Amino acid sequence: MTAFNHRFDPTSLREYDIRGIVGQTLHPEDAFAIGRCFGSMVSRAGGTKVAVGYDGRLSSPELEAQLVAGLRACGLQVAKIGCGPTPMLYFASYALKADGAIMVTGSHNPPDYNGFKMMLGGKPFYGAQIQEIGRMAAEGDVVPTAVGSDESVDVSERYVARMMQDWDGGDRALKVVWDPGNGSGAEIVKLLTAQLPGTHYIINGSIDGTFPAHHPDPTVAKNLEQIIAEVAKQGADLGIAFDGDADRIGVVDGEGHILFGDQLLVVLARDVLKAKPGGVIIADVKASQVLFDEIAKAGGTPLMWKTGHSLIKSKMAETGSPLAGEMSGHIFFADKWYGFDDAPYSAVRLLGIIARSQDTLGQMRAGLPQVINTPELRFDCPDTRKFGVIAEVKQRLAAEGAKVQDVDGVRVLTEDGWWLLRASNTQAVLVARAEASSEAGLDRLKADIARQLQASGLPVPDFSGENAGH
């Protein structure tokens, strides 16, 4: 038996996944080591089968091959679902009754990045578990080498058929523009639109790991310019965009306005709450106060929780929540679905709501209380310092008697509205956001953030031009 040990670049072991720059901080040897260590965890828990998928990045096939080799070396059966979106891999883990699942994906990062998202026993795999992979690799703490097997399994038609079971929009024909952004959701969009009623236009519909049209991140307004133009050209009812691995959704209405993650969640929550009155609807701390108020108004129980898709999924399971969402466009349905973030499925549910409604999506958006807020503001702060800054800010606010929600960083309520400051779990940055009912109020909130940063010895960022109606 060959002795095994391996060291990862420490920057690659993140809070929610393993991710790095291919050829610099992430290598094929890392993929093998992940397979060997994760596979050992599955094997020791009595599992025998792991599902594996990969996205459309140029580096993904080689990383997938090494990952599969590592899993096989643990004596496991590997179900290879091929290239597709991350939620299809999550679906496969349930449909194939797998004991674990690993997706090779760089998500919405630049083309030279790649990484691995994992599930173990049907639950998100994150935090201390990812650090444990690093420890096991360094110490060679793996099961003895064995001979496993692998087989290719195409679940794409089963995945689409299962989504279509929940189509509840009747035969009303909508006009929809789709932009999978040359990401790994492109083929699923083709299969899905062939079964949905209506007229569908697909742009950037081939999988291309160089992302020639635009970066596949629908939370950035610039990346939605092309779909907004196409919606106008086709006179479409709405446009739907995905990120690189289709676990995040971006939506624009027929008038070309972007619906942010929290606005989209209002539309979805009102519908879910008709069938699940009193249901707990979860959103992250960056979401608008409008969302929490509208959930309560619709008879739901709003719950503000920490940012991070793994953290939200765990909280949903704990509270029995039927629906959750993040500003970043991760939408999680446990109502009729499996509780994981799934952009194609969220699209099916959204289209059903619009098809059954007398109102257009634009009218739904315009009917929400109008507030002014900043986009997500990010500024550099060393990893070694970022959590300390938040602790200092919290201490000062307590001394001032401020009204603070501290579920994730600090969210401060004032007469003008609210402002948020939190440390990113995945990058060396602090994240801020503010929301008010007037421009003057928003300026006061931004001044509050600036004062707190200054008091902790950080440079004050330029907030000018950072207001957006929402």
Instruction: For 27-71, write each residue's pLDDT tens digit.
Output: 999 999 999 999 999 999 999 999 999 999 999 999 999 999 999
The number of C-alpha atoms within 13 Å of 325 and in the hemisphere containing its C-beta is 27
Is 316:332 a contact under the CB 8 Å cutoff?
Answer: yes
The residue from 59, 60, 107, 310 that is catalytic is 107
pLDDT, residue 469, reads 52
pLDDT, residue 258, reads 96
pLDDT, residue 316, reads 97
Q: Which of 150-164, 253-267, 455-469 has the lowest mean pLDDT?
A: 455-469
Residue 438 known to be catalytic: no
Instruction: For 161-175, write each residue's pLDDT tens digit.
Output: 999 999 999 888 999
Domains and CATH numbers, the chain: 10-154 (3.40.120.10), 158-366 (3.40.120.10), 372-469 (3.30.310.50)
**Is residue 283 scored above 90 in pLDDT?**
yes
pLDDT, residue 1, reads 47
Mean pLDDT to the nearest integer, 349-369: 97
Answer positive or negative: Cα dihedral of 228, 234, 238, 240.
negative
Closest by CA to 45, choosing from 119, 153, 131, is 119
Instruction: For 235-280, write each residue's pLDDT tens digit.
Output: 999 999 999 999 999 999 999 999 999 999 999 999 999 999 999 9
Instruction: For 392-420, write each residue's pLDDT tens digit.
Output: 999 999 999 999 999 999 999 999 999 99
> Between the CA of residue 344 and those of 63, 133, 178, 287, 445, what are the distances in Å?
25, 31, 10, 22, 37
Which two structure tokens, joined as six digits, stand for 182?
Answer: 């040359």
Mean confidence (pLDDT) of the chain: 95
Confidence of residue 15 (pLDDT cuts 50, 70, 90): confident
